[in-house]
Structure 1
Amino acid sequence: MLKLIKRLFRFVLKILFWCVVFSVAVVLLFKWIPVPVTPLMLIRNAEQTDANKKGWEHNWVSIKAISPHLQKAVICSEDQFFLSHNGFDIKAIEKAFENNKKGKRLKGASTISQQTAKNVFLWPDRSWLRKGLETYFTFLVELIWTKERIMEVYLNSIEMGPGIYGAEAAAQYWFKKSASKLSKYESAAIASILPSPLRYRANPATTYIEGRKSWIVKQMGYLGTINYSE
């Protein structure tokens, strides 16, 4: 019985070891090459019952081909401490934890780094397992990638509309132009729908989105120039 337990223990350790090796290798790979597809893209596509609407729009572009306005807009709307934290906003996590103790469901305080880790490597779910893996992958991307690369992957992978993934596809879908040409207000409009891109429209915007857009533009004025090397 003892031998069996030892063998099982060694087997589990080997699995964990190779899982770590594989995950690090994938994160290293995506440090340089575009992310071709995400789990969410596959899940959304599988959920689509209309055969005529199957598929998605996802056109990877360099961060230099994405308007600085959009980069600033998502920082202001999603994670204002993105450039200074190590992947986790501790104060926001503590606040979310306190709120969760009062309610019954997990409520996130995800940074852009965490959202990137979730979008690229994991599935959309509210569970402690997913959050644990998200923490692990967030640590890896912060360790291996630069802040600029995290932003590049984030803006090329997130859902920005029905079947729309990434800045270039979103710019074409909402404003009929390339991501590099997005104005301050167009960028803010896209950023304003990110909490629920299947529910809200960037253009034409509702009264609620117009309000969020104005707030984001104001915050962008406070942020100033983005410097990823700091």
Structure 2
Amino acid sequence: MLKKIFRFFFKLMLWFFGISIFFVGLFKFVPVPFTPLMAVRFIENKTSENAVVFSHDWEPLENISPNLQKAVIASEDGNFLKHSGFDFIAIQKAMKSNEKGRKLKGGSTISQQTAKNVFLWQGRSYFRKGLEAYFTVLIELIWGKERIMEVYLNSIEMGNGVYGAQAASRHWFSKDASHLSAREAAGIAAILPNPRKFSASSSTSYINRRKEKIQRVMRYVGRLNY
């Protein structure tokens, strides 16, 4: 009996590793068509009285303004170009902040956020965090920084029903993602913690302060090579 159970779980693990590596390898070259969050939002939208039109357009990284690339690094993950998927200094700071009873912070990198958005569901369980760490290692090894940034900027939620840089640029500023100014890019990056609540264009004083801070940090952010 124990042997059968062991074989079952062993085969299950082999299938999991095989399928996960296959899809990570596939998405190194193929645009990600949708994410679990998009599916959840779509279902929510179907049952909501205030339905919104979904917008998601994939653009190669070279067609996305370097301003936006720098803005999300400045806002979300200042060490993105240096770490290997995990910013342990940021994680330690987040843990200390949480222990002191301050606002909950996760210390997640852009790589971790990308792994979560593309392959996993939303949540804070240890099991999901473990899977997030696994997929983070995979995409760092197989994709590299440029592809991670490309997938991130094409997949994350940037407004209510708005996913990816191109859709966000059209929605907030009526222009293509390649033409975003530093101020506009900072506006999009500033709302990422809660893109369904805040506006990147007609911003509150809180978002305007975030924009200014992001723009200051952007000056010191390097550029991805492609």
Query: Could you state the TM-score of these two structures normalised by the residue count of structure 2?
Result: 0.94
Residue 192 of structure 1 is matched in structure 2 by 190
Deviation (angstroms), 1:13: 0.7
Matches within 5 A, 1:43-58: 43-48=40-45, 49-50=47-48, 53=51, 56-58=54-56
Q: Is the 8 A contact 2:188 2:200 kept in 1?
A: yes
Matches within 5 A, 1:1-230: 4-48=1-45, 49-50=47-48, 53=51, 56-103=54-101, 107-223=105-221, 225-228=222-225
Deviation (angstroms), 1:93: 1.1
Deviation (angstroms), 1:100: 3.6
* Cα distance in 2 for residues equivalent to 1:177 and 1:108: 33
| Secondary structure of 2:158's aligned partner | strand
* Cα distance in 1 for residues equivalent to 2:216 and 2:105: 26
| Secondary structure of 1:141's aligned partner | helix
| Secondary structure of 2:7's aligned partner | helix
Deviation (angstroms), 1:114: 0.3
Deviation (angstroms), 1:147: 0.5
* Cα distance in 2 for residues equivalent to 1:186 and 1:107: 26
* Cα gap change, 1:51 to 1:35, in 2 (>3 Å): farther
CA root-mean-square deviation? 1.7
* Cα distance in 2 for residues equivalent to 1:58 and 1:117: 18
* Cα distance in 1 for residues equivalent to 2:126 and 2:208: 35
Q: Is the 8 A contact 2:159 2:195 kept in 1?
A: yes
Deviations 1:135-155 (A, max 9, x none): 000000001012000000000
Deviations 1:31-78 (A, max 9, x none): 000000000000011112237726521000100110000000000000
Q: Is the 8 A contact 1:106 1:127 kept in 2?
A: no
Give the AA of the match of 1:12.
F
Q: Is the 8 A contact 1:160 1:194 kept in 2?
A: yes
Identity across matched positions, percent: 56
Give the AA of the match of 1:21.
G
Q: For structure 2, list consecutive stretches of 5 or more residues without a partner in the other structure.
A: none
Q: Is the 8 A contact 2:190 2:211 kept in 1?
A: yes
* Cα distance in 2 for residues equivalent to 1:11 and 1:132: 21
Query: Could you state the TM-score of these two structures normalised by the residue count of structure 1?
Result: 0.93
Q: Is the 8 A contact 1:45 1:55 kept in 2?
A: no
